[in-house]
């Protein structure tokens, strides 16, 4: 009988905790925000930040260091919408990820375009 009561108490506590967490998640969702707006810092671990300072035919500079895109590079805006390389412009702030074992090949980049 005591085990049944303990089990019921634990189940109630688990349900209450799940309910509180669910409500907290709903409250934190504000209208007009997307998942990309709410990404945790862990989603961009390994990314570097900078500003595009020059653009050339096949390369560009971020903070005066030369980079190029990998053939399958993925470009996104701050909301997670996919972009084309034609969106690259001088003075745009970016977050970028270098291809593994590379110092100048970008495989993923977020362009922080003006709103």
Token match 């190029």: residue?
68
Are 99 and 45 found together in one domain? yes
Is residue 87 a part of any domain in this protein? Answer: yes
Which pLDDT score is estimated for 15? 53
Which pLDDT score is estimated for 64? 97
* Residue 86 near residue 51, CB atoms below 8 Å: no
CATH number at residue 76: 2.40.50
Would you call 93 helix, strand, or coil by DSSP?
Answer: strand
Domain containing residue 2: 1-30
Is residue 36 a part of any domain in this protein? Answer: no
Are 50 and 102 found together in one domain? yes
Structure confidence by residue, pLDDT tens digits, 12-60 = 666 555 554 455 555 555 455 444 444 444 467 889 999 999 999 999 9
Is residue 79 a part of any domain in this protein? Answer: yes
Buried b (16+ CB within 10 A) or exposed e, 13-45: eeeeeeeeeeeeeeeeeeeeeeeeeeeeeeeee
- The mean-pLDDT minimum among 3-17, 25-39, 71-85 falls in 25-39
Are 74 and 108 found together in one domain? yes
For the chain, counts of helices (H) and of strands (E): 1, 6
Which pLDDT score is estimated for 45? 81
Is residue 94 a part of any domain in this protein? Answer: yes
């Amino acid at each position: 009988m005591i085990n049944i009561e303990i089990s019921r108490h634990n189940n109630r506590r688990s349900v209450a905790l799940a309910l509180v967490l669910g409500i907290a998640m709903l409250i934190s969702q504000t209208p007009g925000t997307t998942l990309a707006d709410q990404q945790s810092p862990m989603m961009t671990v390994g990314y570097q930040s900078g500003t595009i300072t020059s653009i050339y035919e096949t390369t560009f500079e971020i903070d005066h260091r030369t980079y190029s895109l990998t053939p399958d590079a993925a470009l996104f805006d701050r909301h997670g919408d996919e972009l084309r390389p034609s969106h690259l412009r001088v003075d745009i702030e970016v977050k970028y990820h270098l291809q593994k074992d590379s110092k100048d090949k970008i495989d993923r980049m977020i362009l922080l375009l003006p709103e």
